[in-house]
Amino acid sequence: MTLPINCEPLKTLIRTVPDFPKPGILFYDITTVLKDKAGFATLIDAFAQYYIGKEIDLVLGIEARGFIFGPALAYRLNAGFVPVRKPKKLPAPTARVTYDLEYGTDALEIHLDAIQPGERVVIVDDLLATGGTMQATVELVRQLGGEIAGLGFAIELDFLKGREKFQQYDVLSLLHYDE
């Protein structure tokens, strides 16, 4: 059995920015790990190692930062990639769900024909905070009849307890922060 990839050393490559985008928010900036070739590869390798062999048909990436990890992971899993987008970006008929954010509200859409009923889907995003964004995406997948095989995050902000929204799902977070 292969040992799980330890991503903990990558914390040195993640920049924290106080009071962005609003006062009181400590922003976890992944651009500093993405530009590090070993850092980015380690994150994709860690996701891939977890999902290989789980018969994943589709990887869904949530706009915008889920688009960074989703396609690279889909390629490694020999799966398709589906973008979940902010409103009015997708050209064909869509399903839409609105949700609350750590710092505002927003909505997400998916093409109605993006998932066939029963297809096995992994949803990826850069960060789990309150879980509102992922919860909206889970709802979109359920509306289309997809089977949720996993929810994957590069970073989880444990203190916001977003994970509690997903108790019936397999949640993978590569890095955890307590504050």
Ligand X SMILES: O=P(O)(O)OC[C@H]1O[C@H](OP(=O)(O)OP(=O)(O)O)[C@H](O)[C@@H]1O
**Interaction with ligand X in 148-177: which residues (CB under 6 A)?**
162
Which of ligand ADE, ligand X, none has residue 27 at its interface (CB below 5 to 8 Å by kind)?
A: ligand ADE
Active site residue 76: no
Q: Contact between 147 and ligand X (CB under 6 A)?
A: no
The catalytically annotated residue of 65, 109, 156, 163 is 65
| Number of chain residues interacting with ligand X (CB under 6 A) | 17
Which of ligand X, ligand ADE, none has residue 28 at its interface (CB below 5 to 8 Å by kind)?
A: ligand ADE
Which of ligand ADE, ligand X, none has residue 132 at its interface (CB below 5 to 8 Å by kind)?
A: ligand X
Which is nearest to 47 in space by CA: 171, 177, 139, 176? 171
> One symbol per residue from 124 to 143: x for binding ligand X (CB under 6 A), - otherwise; what is it?
-xxxxxxxxx----------
Q: Contact between 101 and ligand X (CB under 6 A)?
A: yes
DSSP string, the chain: -PPPP--GGGGGG-EEEET-SSTT-EEEE-HHHHTSHHHHHHHHHHHHHHHTTS---EEEEETTTHHHHHHHHHHHHT-EEEEEBSTT--SS-EEEEEEEETTEEEEEEEETTSS-TT-EEEEEEEEESSSHHHHHHHHHHHHHT-EEEEEEEEEEEGGG-GGGGGTTS-EEEEEEE--
Residue 11 or residue 27: which is nearer to ligand X going by CB?
27
Q: Contact between 106 and ligand X (CB under 6 A)?
A: yes
The catalytically annotated residue of 8, 15, 63, 102 is 102
Residue 25 or residue 172: which is nearer to ligand ADE going by CB?
25
Give catalytic residues, as residue numbers.
65, 102
